Amino acid sequence: MIGLYREGDSLLHRLPAGIKLAGLLLTGLASPFVRSPLVTATALAVVLAGYALARMPLRVLLQMMRPLLFVMVPLALFQTVVAGWQRAVVIVGVLVALVLLANLVTLTTRTSDLIDVVVRVCGPLRRVGVSPERVGLMLQLAIRAVPLVVDLGQRVREAQHARGLAASPRAFAVPLIVGALRRADAMGDALAARGLDD
């Protein structure tokens, strides 16, 4: 879901990264105050209109939605039982809208542009000893780590199926954690070799 930039010349593609990040931040800050299913549906409609405005294929939206189902369906059922269907619609709808909006930002904005904005925003922190460039590097490494861990998870899952251990959580979790730690060590060694370990 991170670093999914797709080339395009739509209005959203041309919009500065800072404006898109500010909009995402303000939307996230406003989300706890949503109480109405109608407002939630309107927010979802606006986000979906953003995908249309960015000329994103329907399959891209469906790819974004598929992983959400594993979390949102149980959450919706739980909230319906505990707090009623209206509250369930609001909670699940707001979460889906925020995730889709965040994805829309990454789909229409280069990762380097997003990081540049974060580095500029962190500029004043230099006065208290924080290096904005290191914050940007840390963010870049975090973004890069996501597809690496996903790839590692897929490899572990394939090896698990080959050994007939498809139902064993331990057979999946242990190699995944060990592999992730090894990659983290290798990345740390590479940074240390470039003088970035202090």
Task: Indicate whether 140 pLDDT > 80.
Answer: no
pLDDT for position 41? 93
| Cβ–Cβ under 8 Å, residues 105 and 20 | yes
Nearest-angstrom CA–CA distance, 91 and 102: 17
Nearest-angstrom CA–CA distance, 198 and 196: 6
Residue 44 and residue 138 share a domain = no
Residue 17 and residue 54 share a domain = yes
Residue 112 and residue 16 share a domain = yes
> For the packed helices 111-121 and 17-30, what is the interaxial angle rounded to 10 degrees?
70
End position of a domain, from candidates 85, 117, 149: 117
0.75 surpassed by pTM: no
Chain-wide mean pLDDT for the chain? 82
- Structural domain including 132 reads 126-193
Residue 143 and residue 180 share a domain = yes
1 falls in which pLDDT band (50, 70, 90)? very low
pLDDT for position 129? 80
User: Averaged over 41-70, what is the pLDDT?
Assistant: 87
